[in-house]
Amino acid sequence: MHGIVTSDLERFERNVGALLQYPARAAAIFLAIGAAVALGLTVLNLPVGLVAVAAAIAVGSLLFARTKVLLIAFFVVALAIVPFVVRDQYWLRVTVTMGVYAILALGLNIIVGFAGVLDLGFIAFYGIGAYTAALLMLKCGWSFWAALPVATAAGALLGVLRGLPALRLSGDYLAIVTLGFGEIVRLTFTNWVGLTNGPMGLRGIEAPTIGAFSFGFDAARGGYMRYYFLVLILLAVAVYVVYRLRRSRPGRALLAIRDNETAAAAMGVHLSRYKTLAYALGAAFGGAAGAFFASFNLFVSPNSFVFFESAIVLCMVVVGGMGSIPGAIIGAVILASFPELLRFLADFRYLIFGALMVAVAVFRPRGLMKA
């Protein structure tokens, strides 16, 4: 701890000395920060507290000159400003949907990107989480916060139950099993009318609340802004969990399995145990995303969990870069936003969307971001 503090003080002294040595450059930097503060307060009408925090982060990062901290601070501030800049509630809802897909992509990235296991039915865990949370809130009167961990655990449990019989399979056979599992879950939602209300779905789901404070849509108070910050928090937790997993012993074991199962087993890696762990963790992400989706959409039906959704989430991971945390998020943002950006082209948008996918596969076969 003493070494870290000493290093920070030395860095601070060095950077202050550099600013004093070049006063014109220092003046230009601080004028730029002041102009950004004025722009945020006047033109963008941002909250004073948010602008003050952004300015403090900019000055602190400048003085301590930590590139990683500066980049993280920039993205945090940029994400916090989004709902104040995006005034159109339609696009803010699309942005929230991007966050949900980013959580799903991170979960599938554990299975496909870390463990190297193909999964064509991942969206089933998304549906299990959504229906679990919806039924608990509607039938049992639970709050979103009580239903969220149960939905997450339900997804993890189903991930283990599906993963165990699939451990001995690989290639086409594994793909067929995962695809079949996804369809079985969807058909169960459709035909178990007494529990899930069948194709009509479940309505009347309540938005998350904390006391008298509701995260629901409120046109007078920012519309979907509260949902945006809630999904941002959930996404931050998901990123932290995946980041810690990647740097842990189980994470390195999963990467070894992905690269070469035979070599990993020869080095003492328990293949079944770690693959099951990957299934459980990835499915837990799907369950959590499903719980949020149920409380955000206020309605769930089997049509939201078709095979096309599984294919889209898998494409997000592949396009972003398998095994890459930023890549999964970037892939989710691109693939969730492009169909909406191209909506003015009507039916041709999917043709262009497919052409872009092919172009990425040809020119960036390992994805946009390297693991």
> What CATH number did the domain enclosing 101 receive?
1.10.3470
Please give the pLDDT value at position 30: 59
131 and 239, same domain (yes or no): yes
Q: Which of 22, 48, 82 is the last residue of a domain?
A: 82
Q: Which residues of the chain have pLDDT under 70?
A: 1-74, 219-220, 346, 371
Q: Are residues 36 and 161 in the same domain?
A: no
Handedness of CA 169, 170, 173, 174 (dihedral sign): positive
* One domain, residues 35 and 100: no
**Assigned domain for 368 exists:** no
216 and 357 share one domain: yes
pLDDT in tens, 225-241: 888 889 999 999 999 99
Residues 164 and 307 reside in one and the same domain: yes
Say yes or no: 78 and 13 in one domain.
yes
pLDDT score of 3: 47
DSSP string, 38-100: HHHHHTS---HHHHHHHHHHHHHHHHHT-HHHHHHHHHHHHHHHHHHH---HHHHHHHHHHHH
* Helices of type H across the chain: 2-21, 23-42, 48-64, 67-85, 89-109, 123-139, 144-166, 171-191, 193-196, 225-246, 249-259, 261-266, 271-297, 307-320, 325-341, 348-363
Q: Would residue 224 count as lying in a domain?
A: yes
Looking at 21, 50, 82, the residue that finishes a domain is 82
- Domain total in the chain: 2
- Would 370 be classed as within a structural domain? no
Which residue segment(s) compose the domain that 131 sits in? Answer: 88-363
Q: What distance in Å separates the CA atoms of residue 295 and residue 288, rounded to the nearest whole number?
A: 11
- In the listed set 82, 111, 144, which residue is the last one of a domain according to the structure? 82
3-class DSSP state of 218: strand
Tell how far CA 37 is from the center of its chain: 30
Say if residue 60 is in the same domain as residue 149: no
**Domain assignment of residue 371, yes or no:** no
